[in-house]
Amino acid sequence: MTAPEGDDAAGTGAAGRKRLPLATVLTANAVSITGNSLTLIGVPWFALDTTGSPGKAGFVAFCAALPVLVSAIAGGPVVDRIGRRRVSIASDLVCALALAAIPLLHRAGLLEFWTLCALMAVNGLFHAPGEMARHVLVPDLARRAGTSLPRAASLYDAVARGARMAGAAVAGLLVAFMGADTVLLLDATTFVVSALLVAAGLRGVPSAEPVRDGPRLSPARYRADLREGYTFLFRARLLLGITVMVMVTNGLSQSWSAVLLPVHAREELGGPATQGLLVSVFGGCALVGALLYGAVGQRFPRRAVFTAGFLLGGAPPYLVAALTGTTAPLLVTLAAAGFGVGVLNPILTTVMYEQVPDALRSRVMGASTAGVLLTTPLGGLAAGLLVERAGLTAALLGIGGLYFLATLSPLLFPAWRGMDAPPPERAAGDGAPAGAPVSSAEPSPPAPVPGPSGRPPRR
């Protein structure tokens, strides 16, 4: 006996409505990350074009990255109280205004160096809460859509990689032919589109709305919520190990995207179009890696795959760029590195979702975001000064060597074996992971973007 046609249509419609919020978040991220790629290439070139100094370009990167760290440290408890949907919309709109102001003031002859730094700081301060708000929704939206968590995490990262690939390719051409200021205006537009998508697509989703039944957010309650997130992170040795490792590699990656690659492209590779090609190829191969992991990656040990991916995607591009001044060898190296890096975020995202209960996710994710971004403000600043003092080749070799040492962590420390362990069992209402040490004396990232692909997670 077959079901009536109307019942089939109703079932299909209900399933589509359940999948819509997840599709909305994926689409909004695709739009905004495409814009991120425009900024990733446009801002360093804008700074180099207007100042002529790698050191000043590095300082602009510092001003953009430091507020991201500040908002990540303090923003976790606020996201749930205000509401994930509202935070995402407000974040995108403020960032759109800040980015649009840069080229508009420049064209009016009113943009000073300090103004550029201040506007990039505003952009950095507001984009991290919006990214966090969307990211912590994925487990709930995956359940609504009937999608497994590892598959949703891989899809989330694959969409980001694809958008980054497309954005980088477009950005390099736009900077070369239309100027960096035009690229920044387009990036501001992507923020607006992302805000509109979230406003329409997440309306009425309970997990995207403000927490109504919790205690009122007083200063004491805020401090308690903040402390709860950091306490959980410090007691979970695996999450803490991941956070420390990605903290180091994100700082080194910032040096690549903000200073080393733009300077190398300007001096040796022919300009921003080549940089856009390199970043696009990296992103495309990372997309393939993420999709492949989503399809078959669950069959293999996570720690082994993670370590291999990091060794392949970390130090090699720095070393090849230091030893050659042509595009082809670096292009091949970045293709291989992108494939390795593509498997990392799905693994890290799945581990984070498995280890942290939903009630604590915004707070713990805020703490882990702060941790992985701790060195990011210094990455571009230090690289700019190092290039001016020691030269580009020495900077590439030194930073590449540090990257290689950092990627050995999963092989050296026992806590990483927990990456392949079953998710911890928790008693009802327990905020700490099972088996976690009581002491927090020992020193997860929200889908960090390690490797030389660009900046750490943005939005």
Is the whole-model pTM more than 0.75?
A: no
Burial 231-242 (b: 16+ CB within 10 A, else e): bbbbbbbbbbbb
Q: How far apart are CA 267 and CA 326, in angstroms?
A: 11
Please, what are the averages of pLDDT over each run of 10 residues along the chain (459 residues)? 48 63 82 73 71 72 73 65 81 88 85 83 79 78 76 74 70 70 81 87 74 64 76 84 86 83 83 78 82 77 87 89 87 89 82 77 75 76 83 89 88 82 54 31 33 37
DSSP for residue 300: S
Helix (H, G, I), strand (E, B) or coil at 442: coil
Q: How far apart are CA 161 and CA 158, in angstroms?
A: 5
CA nearest 346: which of 85, 150, 58, 107? 150
Closest to 336 in 3D by CA, of 257, 411, 281, 399: 281
At which residue do the structure tokens 């997440």 appear? 202
Residue 346 tokens, joined = 């799905």
Rg (CA), the chain: 21
- pLDDT at position 151 is 74
Total residue count of the chain as it appears in this document: 459
Residue 406 contacts by C-beta under 8 Å, 6 or more apart in sequence? Answer: 245, 248, 249, 252, 314
Quote the pLDDT of residue 318. Answer: 92
Q: How far apart are CA 6 and CA 395, in angstroms?
A: 66
